[in-house]
Chains A and B, each alone.
Chain A
Amino acid sequence: DIQMTQSPTSLSASVGDRVTITCQASQDIKSYLNWYQQKPGEAPNLLLYDASNLEPGVPSRFRGDGSGTDFTFTITSLQPEDFATYFCQQYEKVPFTFGPGTTVDL
């Protein structure tokens, strides 16, 4: 199975900050990587697919980059509604594994 790791596990930030999360795959997943946001008590929400493609309706402050095994997720200017947990997910191979998540709090 492809293992996904994320760092950091959590981070504290302020409104307006630039926030970067990394996601690493245990083997080459090309660009088959998605990013989801989840707020407490809610279902996850797709932000980015294929590593860097913004889902329609998602603000442009969310950005993704990378290919192969190393990926980054950036919020260019953190907004109050962005405090949440972020998960990466690979879909190069079954099982479609998720990373453990990164919690962004105040």
Chain B
Amino acid sequence: EVQLLESGGGLVQPGGSLRVSCEASEFSFGSYAMSWVRQAPGKGLEWVSTISGNSRTTYYADSVKGRFTISRDNSKKTLYLQMNSLRAEDTAVYYCAREAYGDYWIDYWGQGTLVTVSS
């Protein structure tokens, strides 16, 4: 069974940085594009970023472009999201997600990690 396990969430002050990680298992990690999707408390889903299997292509939402960096280490089967210059509006549960092979629908989601930006 595909598993995606996020970690690294927590409380951070405005302007601070945080890196969240997602450890994948039970599938050929390097063959799949991966994404981060977030959900602010009580709100809807917001796509944040996607990275191709070979890391050559990355996409970002305008709301995070220039502040967040998606990356992956296929040897460690791990996806990362480096978040800098954090704002209160970045407070959300961050979900790691696997995109279907060769396509862009999310067929597996992690359980999410909460990032809270507050002083």
Chain A residues close to B by CB (< 8 Å): 1, 32, 34, 36, 38, 43-46, 49-50, 55, 87, 89, 91, 94-101
Contacts of A87 in B (CB 8 A): 44-45
| Interchain CB contact under 8 A, A46 and B107 | yes
| Chain B: number of interface residues, binned into ranges | 20 to 34
Do residues A95 and B61 form an inter-chain contact, with CB atoms below 8 A? Answer: yes
Scoring B residues 79 to 119 as 1 if CB is less than 8 Å from chain A, else 0, what string do you get? 00000000000000001000010011111011110000000
Complex: how many Å from CA A78 to CA B8? 38
Show 12 residue pairs from A and B whose CB-CB distance is below 8 angstroms, ordered by the A residue. Answer: A34-B105, A38-B45, A43-B95, A43-B112, A49-B105, A55-B107, A89-B47, A89-B105, A94-B50, A95-B60, A95-B62, A96-B59
Q: Inter-chain contact count A-B, CB under 8 Å? A: 55
CB-CB under 8 A for A44 and B59, given A95-B47, A98-B47:
no
A94 touches B59 (CB 8 A): yes
